[in-house]
Chain A
């Protein structure tokens, strides 16, 4: 059994606990032992928080990494933003001894240190590489009969040097296909959902990022959007509500890949608390797996 420290981040516990529930179910069903990372902080968020102050940002990231290192476990992350911060922080701390020394000087103030002994993994690569597509297919009890579009999100493209940046994006698509769903491609797959811009210019983020994507999806007649990042998920859901004030109406469900897998594995929708969503995800579940 593979064992990881699970990093929940800020958004999932606060806005989408259904993703937390689904992830726990999926880990259990795929025989992955997920240990809670007790006392973790914000990763910190790669757009606003991390860029406010490099020293504080790296210190918080290093502290999170040190918590996992103390457990002797690699991290599994359910959010693209957390993935980018922790992955890049880890790479810097592993390969820049002087930086690691500086950061450890700060961590020593709170009785911690980080030696660079763990790896940071996105849940997509953990499911693809540790569990494998064949096993995932065998676990599917209720094939997803739906036409879905995948929004991989920007930060999923972060990779080790020399590795194809599309690696995890392909893995995500194979995971979705393994559930039995049809995957539709859109010309705007690579366009950012607009989440990071929301804090600065809501109208721009909604009209120039989210709306064109939704129009594209609506035109393609998709049943839903699959993401692997709660920030993108929140943007797709809250964004559709906010777009109404600009005269644009959409009602496209958006769910995290672990929720899709949990539904396909036969976990009853009511156990996933899909009502946390602000888009018609419960209705999608009822339609595609006949469950409520």
Chain B
């Protein structure tokens, strides 16, 4: 049977594996892109790995999915996540039949849609359980406290605690000041630096900043 280090090397050669390492003796962990789950599960299955379970954790903005496999006594955990705006991932139940009920359980308790699941539907909750109510789901909100979110959003987007309103810009001019002060939001190059810092420090991830919408995901 391959050693943990050999499993890591094999995983690293797969497309969609973001990182992999031996966490401790007989345990390997890998972070993967959600789109790669079928290919990687197939590779492991072909290597003789045994499916164990899927664990899930609602992290506020995303749902973490932890696919557990066993290969000759070494536990392999593939960690991926799905955004709660569209919590979907390809089902591996056609490749790994044992995953069928585990996916149904996660679907029912967290609201994850396993695309292509052979037998979707009710699993373990009472028959009269309301549709769309996921008992292990948490509110859709960033990790930061609600009170801090507006400041986090503004600092990430414009580099200031609040954007300068058009009304205030006009009033500044009337008072004999430039419409905008020499701040980062008045200068594209400076703003790019702020955005680069937010990305590099991963503050954008902590705050759950959506770069396309220019606002925090799930904030009020």
Contact = CB atoms under 8 A, between A and B. Distances in A.
B200 to A, nearest CB: 5
Interface string A35-76: 011111110110011001101100110010000000000000
A42 B171 CA distance: 21
Interface centre among B152, B155, B165, B189 (most CB of A within 10 A): B155
A115 to B, nearest CB: 18
A122 to B, nearest CB: 19
Contacts of A18: 175
A44 to B, nearest CB: 6
Contact of A11 (B147, B161, B180): B161
A68 to B, nearest CB: 12
A14 B160 CA distance: 10
Interface residues of B, number: 37
B162 A14 contact: yes
A42 B160 contact: yes
B198 interface: yes
Interface residues of A, number: 36
Interface in A226-275: 271, 273
16 contacts: A13-B164, A20-B177, A38-B187, A39-B187, A39-B190, A39-B193, A40-B182, A49-B152, A49-B155, A52-B148, A52-B152, A52-B207, A53-B206, A200-B147, A273-B174, A273-B176
Which 7 A-B pairs rank lowest in CB-CB distance, beginning with the nearest?
Answer: A39-B190, A41-B159, A273-B175, A56-B203, A13-B181, A110-B193, A10-B161
Interface of A: 8, 10-11, 13-14, 17-18, 20-21, 36-42, 44-45, 48-49, 52-53, 55-56, 59-60, 63, 106, 109-110, 112, 199-200, 271, 273, 276
